[in-house]
Chain A
Protein backbone atom coordinates (compact mmCIF):
# COMPACT_ATOMS: atom_id res chain seq x y z
CA UNK A 1 0.00 0.00 0.00
CA UNK A 2 1.11 3.55 -0.63
CA UNK A 3 -0.13 6.91 0.52
CA UNK A 4 -2.63 8.35 -1.94
CA UNK A 5 -3.29 11.54 0.00
CA UNK A 6 -0.78 13.32 2.17
CA UNK A 7 -1.46 16.55 4.05
CA UNK A 8 1.48 18.61 5.22
CA UNK A 9 0.94 21.32 7.85
CA UNK A 10 -2.38 22.25 6.28
CA UNK A 11 -4.11 25.42 7.54
CA UNK A 12 -7.08 27.43 6.37
CA UNK A 13 -8.17 30.89 7.49
CA UNK A 14 -11.59 32.32 6.61
CA UNK A 15 -11.86 36.06 6.02
CA UNK A 16 -8.13 36.73 6.44
CA UNK A 17 -7.51 40.37 7.32
CA UNK A 18 -11.08 41.21 8.38
CA UNK A 19 -12.55 41.40 11.90
CA UNK A 20 -14.24 38.08 11.12
CA UNK A 21 -10.97 36.20 10.71
CA UNK A 22 -11.32 32.55 11.73
CA UNK A 23 -8.77 29.79 11.59
CA UNK A 24 -10.90 26.80 10.62
CA UNK A 25 -8.10 24.27 10.08
CA UNK A 26 -4.84 24.59 11.97
CA UNK A 27 -1.63 22.77 11.08
CA UNK A 28 -3.01 19.36 10.12
CA UNK A 29 -0.56 16.72 8.86
CA UNK A 30 -1.54 13.16 8.04
CA UNK A 31 -1.43 10.55 5.34
CA UNK A 32 -4.10 8.28 3.90
CA UNK A 33 -3.38 4.96 2.19
CA UNK A 34 -4.81 3.83 -1.11
CA UNK A 35 -8.03 1.85 -0.56
CA UNK A 36 -8.75 2.94 3.01
CA UNK A 37 -12.17 3.94 4.28
CA UNK A 38 -11.59 6.84 6.66
CA UNK A 39 -14.28 8.14 8.99
CA UNK A 40 -14.06 11.83 9.95
CA UNK A 41 -15.73 12.98 13.17
CA UNK A 42 -15.69 16.14 15.29
CA UNK A 43 -18.21 18.43 16.93
CA UNK A 44 -19.97 21.01 14.80
CA UNK A 45 -17.67 23.78 13.59
CA UNK A 46 -14.52 21.78 14.22
CA UNK A 47 -13.35 22.21 10.62
CA UNK A 48 -14.31 18.91 8.99
CA UNK A 49 -15.97 20.39 5.93
CA UNK A 50 -13.21 22.94 5.49
CA UNK A 51 -10.57 20.23 5.71
CA UNK A 52 -12.15 18.00 3.08
CA UNK A 53 -12.80 20.87 0.69
CA UNK A 54 -9.09 21.51 0.52
CA UNK A 55 -8.44 17.94 -0.60
CA UNK A 56 -9.84 18.44 -4.10
CA UNK A 57 -8.70 22.00 -4.60
CA UNK A 58 -12.04 23.72 -4.02
CA UNK A 59 -10.33 25.77 -1.35
CA UNK A 60 -6.74 26.78 -1.51
CA UNK A 61 -4.89 26.16 1.76
CA UNK A 62 -3.68 29.30 3.52
CA UNK A 63 -0.62 27.29 4.44
CA UNK A 64 0.71 23.81 3.81
CA UNK A 65 0.31 21.32 1.00
CA UNK A 66 -1.99 18.56 -0.19
CA UNK A 67 -0.17 15.77 -2.04
CA UNK A 68 -2.25 13.51 -4.26
CA UNK A 69 -0.27 10.46 -5.37
CA UNK A 70 2.87 12.26 -4.22
CA UNK A 71 2.28 15.46 -6.21
CA UNK A 72 1.22 18.83 -4.82
CA UNK A 73 -2.25 19.50 -6.24
CA UNK A 74 -1.57 23.25 -6.51
CA UNK A 75 1.70 22.72 -8.39
CA UNK A 76 -0.04 23.85 -11.56
CA UNK A 77 -3.12 25.92 -10.66
CA UNK A 78 -4.38 25.72 -14.26
CA UNK A 79 -4.73 21.95 -13.91
CA UNK A 80 -6.77 22.10 -10.71
CA UNK A 81 -9.88 20.99 -12.59
CA UNK A 82 -8.27 17.60 -13.27
CA UNK A 83 -7.79 17.14 -9.53
CA UNK A 84 -11.55 17.55 -9.03
CA UNK A 85 -12.20 14.55 -11.29
CA UNK A 86 -9.68 12.48 -9.34
CA UNK A 87 -11.00 13.47 -5.92
CA UNK A 88 -14.80 13.40 -6.01
CA UNK A 89 -16.60 15.49 -3.45
CA UNK A 90 -20.20 15.08 -2.29
CA UNK A 91 -21.29 18.11 -0.24
CA UNK A 92 -23.55 18.34 2.78
CA UNK A 93 -27.11 18.38 1.40
CA UNK A 94 -25.99 17.70 -2.17
CA UNK A 95 -29.57 17.57 -3.48
CA UNK A 96 -29.52 21.36 -3.88
CA UNK A 97 -27.06 21.08 -6.75
CA UNK A 98 -29.44 19.23 -9.10
CA UNK A 99 -30.43 21.28 -12.15
CA UNK A 100 -30.89 19.21 -15.32
CA UNK A 101 -34.15 18.20 -16.98
CA UNK A 102 -33.72 14.53 -16.18
CA UNK A 103 -31.94 12.60 -13.49
CA UNK A 104 -29.92 10.86 -16.21
CA UNK A 105 -28.58 14.14 -17.58
CA UNK A 106 -27.78 15.38 -14.12
CA UNK A 107 -25.77 12.31 -13.24
CA UNK A 108 -23.96 12.65 -16.58
CA UNK A 109 -22.97 16.31 -15.95
CA UNK A 110 -19.71 15.61 -14.12
CA UNK A 111 -18.68 12.65 -16.25
CA UNK A 112 -19.33 14.65 -19.44
CA UNK A 113 -17.25 17.52 -18.07
CA UNK A 114 -14.50 14.98 -17.55
CA UNK A 115 -14.69 14.21 -21.26
CA UNK A 116 -16.61 10.93 -21.39
CA UNK A 117 -18.92 10.51 -24.40
CA UNK A 118 -21.18 7.95 -26.04
CA UNK A 119 -21.27 4.42 -24.67
CA UNK A 120 -18.62 5.15 -22.08
CA UNK A 121 -20.71 7.95 -20.63
CA UNK A 122 -23.89 5.89 -20.72
CA UNK A 123 -22.14 3.04 -18.98
CA UNK A 124 -20.72 5.33 -16.27
CA UNK A 125 -24.13 6.88 -15.59
CA UNK A 126 -25.93 3.53 -15.35
CA UNK A 127 -23.24 2.04 -13.12
CA UNK A 128 -23.39 5.03 -10.80
CA UNK A 129 -27.18 4.86 -10.61
CA UNK A 130 -26.93 1.18 -9.79
CA UNK A 131 -24.38 1.76 -7.02
CA UNK A 132 -26.63 4.29 -5.36
CA UNK A 133 -29.75 2.17 -5.80
CA UNK A 134 -31.65 4.35 -8.26
CA UNK A 135 -34.04 2.29 -10.38
CA UNK A 136 -33.57 2.66 -14.16
CA UNK A 137 -37.07 4.15 -14.56
CA UNK A 138 -36.14 7.02 -12.25
CA UNK A 139 -33.43 8.16 -14.64
CA UNK A 140 -35.97 9.66 -17.02
CA UNK A 141 -37.76 11.67 -14.32
CA UNK A 142 -37.10 15.31 -13.50
CA UNK A 143 -34.77 15.50 -10.50
CA UNK A 144 -37.23 17.89 -8.85
CA UNK A 145 -39.89 15.15 -8.81
CA UNK A 146 -37.80 12.81 -6.66
CA UNK A 147 -38.15 12.39 -2.90
CA UNK A 148 -35.51 13.88 -0.64
CA UNK A 149 -33.65 10.59 -0.24
CA UNK A 150 -33.79 9.86 -3.95
CA UNK A 151 -32.46 13.32 -4.75
CA UNK A 152 -29.56 12.65 -2.39
CA UNK A 153 -28.84 9.40 -4.25
CA UNK A 154 -28.95 11.15 -7.61
CA UNK A 155 -26.51 13.80 -6.40
CA UNK A 156 -24.12 11.17 -5.05
CA UNK A 157 -24.41 9.20 -8.29
CA UNK A 158 -23.39 12.37 -10.17
CA UNK A 159 -20.05 12.32 -8.38
CA UNK A 160 -19.54 8.55 -8.50
CA UNK A 161 -20.08 8.65 -12.29
CA UNK A 162 -16.83 10.60 -12.63
CA UNK A 163 -15.14 7.49 -11.22
CA UNK A 164 -12.86 9.38 -8.82
CA UNK A 165 -9.86 7.71 -7.20
CA UNK A 166 -10.84 9.23 -3.88
CA UNK A 167 -14.49 9.75 -2.91
CA UNK A 168 -15.31 12.23 -0.17
CA UNK A 169 -18.80 12.25 1.34
CA UNK A 170 -19.72 15.09 3.72
CA UNK A 171 -22.51 13.83 5.98
CA UNK A 172 -24.28 11.85 3.26
CA UNK A 173 -26.89 10.44 5.64
CA UNK A 174 -27.88 13.70 7.37
CA UNK A 175 -31.63 14.21 7.37
CA UNK A 176 -32.55 10.75 6.06
CA UNK A 177 -34.87 8.31 7.80
CA UNK A 178 -33.30 5.24 9.52
CA UNK A 179 -34.07 2.94 6.58
CA UNK A 180 -32.66 5.43 4.11
CA UNK A 181 -29.50 5.87 6.17
CA UNK A 182 -29.01 2.14 6.45
CA UNK A 183 -29.46 1.63 2.71
CA UNK A 184 -27.17 4.48 1.71
CA UNK A 185 -24.52 3.31 4.13
CA UNK A 186 -24.53 -0.26 2.85
CA UNK A 187 -24.33 1.08 -0.69
CA UNK A 188 -21.27 3.11 0.24
CA UNK A 189 -19.67 0.01 1.79
CA UNK A 190 -20.54 -1.98 -1.31
CA UNK A 191 -19.06 0.68 -3.59
CA UNK A 192 -15.90 0.77 -1.53
CA UNK A 193 -15.51 -3.02 -1.55
CA UNK A 194 -16.15 -3.42 -5.23
CA UNK A 195 -14.04 -0.55 -6.52
CA UNK A 196 -11.31 -0.69 -3.89
CA UNK A 197 -11.22 3.11 -4.00
CA UNK A 198 -10.31 5.36 -1.13
CA UNK A 199 -13.36 6.78 0.64
CA UNK A 200 -13.55 9.59 3.21
CA UNK A 201 -16.78 9.77 5.14
CA UNK A 202 -17.68 12.73 7.35
CA UNK A 203 -20.46 11.87 9.79
CA UNK A 204 -22.01 12.82 13.09
CA UNK A 205 -23.25 9.28 13.62
CA UNK A 206 -20.71 7.32 15.65
CA UNK A 207 -22.68 4.13 14.96
CA UNK A 208 -22.22 4.62 11.21
CA UNK A 209 -18.54 5.43 11.54
CA UNK A 210 -17.93 2.47 13.85
CA UNK A 211 -19.57 0.16 11.35
CA UNK A 212 -17.77 1.18 8.19
CA UNK A 213 -14.46 2.90 8.89
CA UNK A 214 -11.01 1.33 8.83
CA UNK A 215 -9.53 4.36 10.54
CA UNK A 216 -11.08 7.38 12.21
CA UNK A 217 -9.87 10.96 12.04
CA UNK A 218 -11.03 13.14 14.94
CA UNK A 219 -11.08 16.93 14.56
CA UNK A 220 -11.30 19.22 17.57
CA UNK A 221 -11.34 23.04 17.36
CA UNK A 222 -9.53 23.18 14.02
CA UNK A 223 -6.85 20.73 15.15
CA UNK A 224 -6.25 17.09 14.34
CA UNK A 225 -7.08 15.38 17.62
CA UNK A 226 -6.57 11.73 16.74
CA UNK A 227 -6.11 9.49 13.73
CA UNK A 228 -6.08 5.80 14.47
CA UNK A 229 -7.77 2.47 13.83
CA UNK A 230 -11.48 2.65 14.61
CA UNK A 231 -11.22 0.25 17.53
CA UNK A 232 -8.42 2.23 19.14
CA UNK A 233 -10.22 5.55 18.73
CA UNK A 234 -13.43 4.33 20.32
CA UNK A 235 -11.48 2.74 23.17
CA UNK A 236 -10.75 6.36 24.24
CA UNK A 237 -14.35 7.07 25.24
CA UNK A 238 -13.40 9.51 28.02
CA UNK A 239 -11.22 11.68 25.84
CA UNK A 240 -13.85 11.78 23.11
CA UNK A 241 -16.49 12.83 25.61
CA UNK A 242 -14.27 15.66 26.80
CA UNK A 243 -14.32 17.19 23.33
CA UNK A 244 -18.06 16.84 22.94
CA UNK A 245 -18.22 13.53 21.10
CA UNK A 246 -19.49 10.18 22.22
CA UNK A 247 -18.79 6.58 21.38
CA UNK A 248 -21.44 4.28 19.88
CA UNK A 249 -24.03 3.31 22.48
CA UNK A 250 -23.22 -0.39 22.27
CA UNK A 251 -19.52 0.38 22.80
CA UNK A 252 -20.44 2.34 25.89
CA UNK A 253 -22.59 -0.46 27.32
CA UNK A 254 -19.86 -3.00 26.75
CA UNK A 255 -17.33 -0.73 28.43
CA UNK A 256 -19.64 -0.37 31.41
CA UNK A 257 -19.96 -4.16 31.66
CA UNK A 258 -16.19 -4.46 31.48
CA UNK A 259 -15.84 -2.03 34.35
CA UNK A 260 -18.11 -4.36 36.33
CA UNK A 261 -15.34 -6.93 36.02
CA UNK A 262 -16.81 -8.98 33.19
CA UNK A 263 -14.19 -10.34 30.84
CA UNK A 264 -14.86 -8.46 27.59
CA UNK A 265 -12.67 -6.83 24.92
CA UNK A 266 -12.19 -3.09 25.50
CA UNK A 267 -13.72 -1.86 22.27
CA UNK A 268 -16.79 -3.43 20.73
CA UNK A 269 -18.09 -1.47 17.79
CA UNK A 270 -21.35 -2.91 16.49
CA UNK A 271 -24.44 -4.59 17.88
CA UNK A 272 -23.65 -7.77 15.91
CA UNK A 273 -20.19 -7.87 17.39
CA UNK A 274 -21.57 -7.32 20.89
CA UNK A 275 -24.06 -10.14 20.34
CA UNK A 276 -21.30 -12.52 19.28
CA UNK A 277 -18.98 -11.67 22.18
CA UNK A 278 -21.73 -11.89 24.76
CA UNK A 279 -23.16 -15.15 23.51
CA UNK A 280 -19.79 -16.84 23.34
CA UNK A 281 -19.07 -15.58 26.85
CA UNK A 282 -22.35 -16.95 28.15
CA UNK A 283 -21.70 -20.23 26.38
CA UNK A 284 -18.31 -20.51 28.00
CA UNK A 285 -19.85 -19.96 31.39
CA UNK A 286 -22.47 -22.55 30.62
CA UNK A 287 -25.44 -20.17 30.94
CA UNK A 288 -26.75 -20.91 27.45
CA UNK A 289 -26.15 -23.69 25.02
Chain B
Protein backbone atom coordinates (compact mmCIF):
# COMPACT_ATOMS: atom_id res chain seq x y z
CA UNK B 1 0.00 0.00 0.00
CA UNK B 2 1.07 3.57 -0.61
CA UNK B 3 0.86 4.35 3.06
CA UNK B 4 3.57 1.95 4.19
CA UNK B 5 6.43 4.43 3.88
CA UNK B 6 8.86 4.43 6.78
CA UNK B 7 11.01 7.44 5.93
CA UNK B 8 9.97 10.56 7.77
CA UNK B 9 7.35 8.88 9.90
CA UNK B 10 6.69 9.97 13.47
CA UNK B 11 6.48 7.34 16.20
CA UNK B 12 4.82 8.64 19.37
CA UNK B 13 6.71 7.82 22.55
CA UNK B 14 7.95 9.15 25.87
CA UNK B 15 11.72 8.85 25.62
CA UNK B 16 14.09 11.67 26.56
CA UNK B 17 14.33 12.60 22.89
CA UNK B 18 10.55 12.81 22.57
CA UNK B 19 10.34 15.11 25.57
CA UNK B 20 12.97 17.63 24.46
CA UNK B 21 11.88 21.00 23.15
CA UNK B 22 11.69 20.68 19.34
CA UNK B 23 13.87 23.80 18.98
CA UNK B 24 16.63 22.13 20.94
CA UNK B 25 16.32 19.04 18.81
CA UNK B 26 16.29 20.98 15.56
CA UNK B 27 19.35 23.07 16.46
CA UNK B 28 21.13 20.06 17.93
CA UNK B 29 20.58 17.78 14.97
CA UNK B 30 21.49 20.46 12.44
CA UNK B 31 24.68 21.20 14.38
CA UNK B 32 25.55 17.50 14.56
CA UNK B 33 24.89 17.02 10.86
CA UNK B 34 27.12 19.99 10.05
CA UNK B 35 29.71 18.56 12.41
CA UNK B 36 29.73 15.26 10.51
CA UNK B 37 31.35 17.06 7.63
CA UNK B 38 33.98 18.67 9.86
CA UNK B 39 35.54 15.37 10.90
CA UNK B 40 38.94 14.76 9.37
CA UNK B 41 40.45 12.04 11.53
CA UNK B 42 39.35 8.86 13.21
CA UNK B 43 38.98 10.11 16.80
CA UNK B 44 36.67 12.90 15.57
CA UNK B 45 34.69 10.40 13.50
CA UNK B 46 34.46 8.11 16.53
CA UNK B 47 32.93 10.94 18.58
CA UNK B 48 30.22 11.41 15.93
CA UNK B 49 29.54 7.69 15.67
CA UNK B 50 29.33 7.43 19.45
CA UNK B 51 26.91 10.36 19.71
CA UNK B 52 24.75 8.95 16.89
CA UNK B 53 24.62 5.55 18.58
CA UNK B 54 23.70 7.16 21.90
CA UNK B 55 20.89 9.19 20.30
CA UNK B 56 19.45 6.18 18.46
CA UNK B 57 19.44 4.15 21.66
CA UNK B 58 17.86 6.89 23.75
CA UNK B 59 15.10 7.47 21.15
CA UNK B 60 13.74 3.98 21.79
CA UNK B 61 12.61 3.42 18.20
CA UNK B 62 13.06 -0.21 17.04
CA UNK B 63 16.22 -0.51 15.00
CA UNK B 64 14.54 -2.07 11.98
CA UNK B 65 12.95 1.27 11.05
CA UNK B 66 16.40 2.83 10.81
CA UNK B 67 17.49 -0.08 8.63
CA UNK B 68 14.49 0.58 6.41
CA UNK B 69 15.50 4.20 5.87
CA UNK B 70 19.10 3.15 5.21
CA UNK B 71 17.93 0.69 2.57
CA UNK B 72 16.67 3.59 0.47
CA UNK B 73 20.16 5.06 0.08
CA UNK B 74 22.15 1.81 -0.06
CA UNK B 75 22.95 2.26 -3.76
CA UNK B 76 24.13 5.85 -3.29
CA UNK B 77 26.45 4.80 -0.48
CA UNK B 78 27.87 1.92 -2.51
CA UNK B 79 28.58 4.04 -5.58
CA UNK B 80 30.16 6.97 -3.75
CA UNK B 81 32.35 4.76 -1.59
CA UNK B 82 33.53 2.74 -4.63
CA UNK B 83 34.37 5.93 -6.50
CA UNK B 84 36.28 7.27 -3.53
CA UNK B 85 38.06 3.97 -3.05
CA UNK B 86 39.75 4.23 -6.45
CA UNK B 87 40.25 7.96 -6.76
CA UNK B 88 42.50 8.65 -3.81
CA UNK B 89 45.87 10.33 -4.23
CA UNK B 90 49.31 9.05 -3.26
CA UNK B 91 51.20 5.77 -3.62
CA UNK B 92 49.13 2.97 -5.17
CA UNK B 93 49.18 -0.21 -3.11
CA UNK B 94 47.42 -2.19 -5.84
CA UNK B 95 46.74 -1.28 -9.43
CA UNK B 96 44.78 -2.78 -12.31
CA UNK B 97 44.13 -0.87 -15.56
CA UNK B 98 42.83 2.55 -14.49
CA UNK B 99 41.80 1.33 -11.06
CA UNK B 100 44.32 2.32 -8.44
CA UNK B 101 43.90 1.51 -4.79
CA UNK B 102 45.62 3.84 -2.32
CA UNK B 103 45.60 4.21 1.46
CA UNK B 104 44.16 7.66 0.95
CA UNK B 105 41.33 6.17 -1.13
CA UNK B 106 40.55 3.60 1.54
CA UNK B 107 40.36 6.29 4.22
CA UNK B 108 38.14 8.44 2.02
CA UNK B 109 35.77 5.56 1.32
CA UNK B 110 35.45 4.83 5.04
CA UNK B 111 34.80 8.48 5.85
CA UNK B 112 32.21 8.94 3.10
CA UNK B 113 30.32 5.80 4.08
CA UNK B 114 30.27 6.58 7.78
CA UNK B 115 29.29 10.20 7.14
CA UNK B 116 26.35 9.37 4.87
CA UNK B 117 25.10 6.63 7.18
CA UNK B 118 25.30 8.94 10.22
CA UNK B 119 23.56 11.70 8.26
CA UNK B 120 20.62 9.45 7.39
CA UNK B 121 20.43 7.93 10.86
CA UNK B 122 20.42 11.33 12.55
CA UNK B 123 17.78 12.84 10.29
CA UNK B 124 15.59 9.72 10.62
CA UNK B 125 16.05 9.91 14.38
CA UNK B 126 14.82 13.52 14.35
CA UNK B 127 11.71 12.81 12.26
CA UNK B 128 10.94 9.56 14.11
CA UNK B 129 10.87 11.31 17.47
CA UNK B 130 9.41 14.72 16.53
CA UNK B 131 5.91 15.19 15.14
CA UNK B 132 5.61 17.36 12.00
CA UNK B 133 3.62 19.95 13.95
CA UNK B 134 6.36 20.30 16.54
CA UNK B 135 8.93 20.63 13.80
CA UNK B 136 7.12 23.44 11.97
CA UNK B 137 6.50 25.14 15.31
CA UNK B 138 10.20 25.03 16.03
CA UNK B 139 11.07 26.32 12.56
CA UNK B 140 8.60 29.17 12.91
CA UNK B 141 10.02 30.20 16.26
CA UNK B 142 13.61 29.94 15.15
CA UNK B 143 13.01 31.97 11.98
CA UNK B 144 11.05 34.66 13.79
CA UNK B 145 13.90 37.23 13.66
CA UNK B 146 13.52 37.21 9.87
CA UNK B 147 10.20 39.00 10.37
CA UNK B 148 12.12 42.22 10.79
CA UNK B 149 13.20 42.08 7.14
CA UNK B 150 9.56 41.41 6.13
CA UNK B 151 10.09 37.77 5.41
CA UNK B 152 6.62 36.13 5.82
CA UNK B 153 7.72 33.61 8.45
CA UNK B 154 4.28 32.85 9.82
CA UNK B 155 2.66 32.39 6.41
CA UNK B 156 5.39 30.04 5.30
CA UNK B 157 5.18 28.04 8.50
CA UNK B 158 1.40 27.85 8.12
CA UNK B 159 1.75 26.64 4.55
CA UNK B 160 4.28 24.06 5.64
CA UNK B 161 2.13 22.72 8.42
CA UNK B 162 -0.95 22.61 6.19
CA UNK B 163 1.03 20.74 3.55
CA UNK B 164 2.44 18.33 6.11
CA UNK B 165 -1.00 17.87 7.61
CA UNK B 166 -2.40 16.83 4.24
CA UNK B 167 0.31 14.42 3.18
CA UNK B 168 -1.19 11.46 5.04
CA UNK B 169 -4.71 12.50 4.04
CA UNK B 170 -3.82 12.62 0.38
CA UNK B 171 -1.95 9.31 0.60
CA UNK B 172 -4.99 7.76 2.21
CA UNK B 173 -7.20 9.27 -0.46
CA UNK B 174 -4.94 7.97 -3.24
CA UNK B 175 -5.17 4.57 -1.69
CA UNK B 176 -8.96 4.70 -1.56
CA UNK B 177 -9.31 5.90 -5.15
CA UNK B 178 -6.88 3.25 -6.35
CA UNK B 179 -8.90 0.57 -4.58
CA UNK B 180 -12.14 1.90 -6.05
CA UNK B 181 -10.77 1.94 -9.60
CA UNK B 182 -9.22 -1.49 -9.15
CA UNK B 183 -12.64 -2.70 -8.07
CA UNK B 184 -13.85 -1.54 -11.49
CA UNK B 185 -11.14 -3.60 -13.14
CA UNK B 186 -8.54 -0.86 -13.67
CA UNK B 187 -5.25 -2.54 -14.51
CA UNK B 188 -2.54 -0.51 -12.82
CA UNK B 189 0.50 -2.70 -12.89
CA UNK B 190 0.87 -4.27 -16.29
CA UNK B 191 1.57 -3.13 -19.82
CA UNK B 192 4.22 -0.81 -21.21
CA UNK B 193 5.08 2.69 -20.05
CA UNK B 194 2.38 4.49 -22.07
CA UNK B 195 -0.34 2.10 -20.96
CA UNK B 196 0.67 2.55 -17.34
CA UNK B 197 0.70 6.32 -17.65
CA UNK B 198 -2.77 6.19 -19.22
CA UNK B 199 -3.95 3.95 -16.39
CA UNK B 200 -3.10 6.74 -13.94
CA UNK B 201 -5.74 9.10 -15.39
CA UNK B 202 -8.64 7.52 -13.47
CA UNK B 203 -6.63 8.04 -10.28
CA UNK B 204 -5.18 11.49 -10.84
CA UNK B 205 -8.39 13.22 -11.88
CA UNK B 206 -10.39 12.28 -8.78
CA UNK B 207 -7.32 13.03 -6.67
CA UNK B 208 -6.97 16.57 -8.05
CA UNK B 209 -10.68 17.17 -7.72
CA UNK B 210 -10.58 16.15 -4.08
CA UNK B 211 -7.38 18.10 -3.36
CA UNK B 212 -9.04 21.28 -4.62
CA UNK B 213 -12.20 20.53 -2.69
CA UNK B 214 -10.14 20.08 0.46
CA UNK B 215 -8.23 23.28 -0.17
CA UNK B 216 -11.48 25.24 -0.47
CA UNK B 217 -12.88 23.53 2.60
CA UNK B 218 -9.86 24.34 4.71
CA UNK B 219 -9.81 27.94 3.50
CA UNK B 220 -13.47 28.36 4.43
CA UNK B 221 -12.95 26.68 7.76
CA UNK B 222 -10.03 28.97 8.58
CA UNK B 223 -12.00 32.04 7.61
CA UNK B 224 -14.94 30.91 9.73
CA UNK B 225 -12.56 30.81 12.70
CA UNK B 226 -11.51 34.39 11.91
CA UNK B 227 -8.00 33.50 10.83
CA UNK B 228 -6.31 36.64 9.53
CA UNK B 229 -2.62 35.89 9.39
CA UNK B 230 0.07 35.83 11.99
CA UNK B 231 0.07 39.28 13.61
CA UNK B 232 -1.19 39.27 17.16
CA UNK B 233 -1.83 35.53 17.28
CA UNK B 234 -1.06 33.74 20.51
CA UNK B 235 -0.40 30.03 20.68
CA UNK B 236 -2.23 27.26 22.40
CA UNK B 237 0.99 25.40 23.18
CA UNK B 238 3.90 27.69 23.89
CA UNK B 239 7.26 26.06 23.56
CA UNK B 240 9.25 26.10 26.80
CA UNK B 241 12.86 25.21 27.35
CA UNK B 242 13.66 23.28 30.52
CA UNK B 243 16.72 22.05 32.41
CA UNK B 244 16.88 19.09 30.06
CA UNK B 245 17.33 21.43 27.13
CA UNK B 246 20.07 23.37 28.88
CA UNK B 247 21.89 20.11 29.59
CA UNK B 248 21.60 19.19 25.92
CA UNK B 249 23.15 22.48 24.84
CA UNK B 250 26.06 21.93 27.23
CA UNK B 251 26.53 18.43 25.83
CA UNK B 252 26.37 19.80 22.30
CA UNK B 253 29.04 22.39 23.11
CA UNK B 254 31.28 19.65 24.54
CA UNK B 255 30.82 17.50 21.44
CA UNK B 256 31.62 20.38 19.10
CA UNK B 257 34.63 21.28 21.25
CA UNK B 258 35.85 17.68 21.17
CA UNK B 259 35.62 17.40 17.40
CA UNK B 260 37.29 20.78 16.84
CA UNK B 261 40.14 19.89 19.22
CA UNK B 262 40.68 16.58 17.42
CA UNK B 263 40.79 18.42 14.11
CA UNK B 264 43.29 20.98 15.36
CA UNK B 265 45.70 18.77 17.29
CA UNK B 266 45.58 15.44 15.45
CA UNK B 267 46.81 14.69 11.94
CA UNK B 268 44.11 14.59 9.29
CA UNK B 269 43.47 11.11 7.88
CA UNK B 270 42.10 12.28 4.56
Contacts and interface: CB of A to CB of B under 8 A. Distances in A.
Given A53-B179, A85-B185, A109 B202 contact: yes
Interface string B193-211: 0000000011001100110
A36 B63 CA distance: 50
B198 to A, nearest CB: 12
Contacts, number: 58
B205 A58 contact: no
A73 to B, nearest CB: 14
Contacts of A280: none
Contacts of A162: 184-185
A61 to B, nearest CB: 15
Contacts of B186: 109, 113
B176 interface: yes
Given A19-B11, A91-B176, A144-B209, A113 B187 contact: yes
B210 A96 contact: yes
Contacts of A19: 11-12, 62
A99 B184 contact: no
Contacts of A97: 177, 180-181, 184, 202, 206
Nearest to A97: B180
A113 B177 contact: no
A91 B209 contact: no
A88 interface: yes
Interface string A1-40: 0000000000000010001000000000000000000000
Interface residues of B, number: 22
Contacts of A53: 179
Contacts of B202: 97, 99, 109
Nearest to A19: B11
Contacts of B187: 81, 113
Interface in A89-109: 89, 91, 94, 96-99, 109
B201 A113 contact: no
A159 B183 contact: yes
A19 B173 CA distance: 22
Given A53-B179, A99-B201, A81 B185 contact: yes
B182 interface: yes
Contacts of B177: 96-97
A172 interface: no
Contact of A113 (B176, B180, B185, B210): B185
Contacts of A88: 183
B179 A99 contact: no
B11 A99 contact: no
A89 B187 CA distance: 16
A173 interface: no
Contacts of B180: 91, 94, 96-97
A158 B184 contact: yes
A96 B206 CA distance: 6
A131 to B, nearest CB: 16
Interface in B103-161: none
A85 B62 CA distance: 42
A56 interface: yes
Contacts of A110: 183-185
10 contacts: A53-B179, A84-B183, A89-B183, A91-B183, A97-B202, A109-B184, A110-B184, A113-B187, A144-B209, A162-B184
Given A84-B185, A94-B180, A159-B183, 6 more contacts: A88-B183, A96-B173, A96-B176, A96-B210, A113-B186, A114-B185
Interface of B: 4, 11-12, 62, 173, 176-177, 179-187, 201-202, 205-206, 209-210
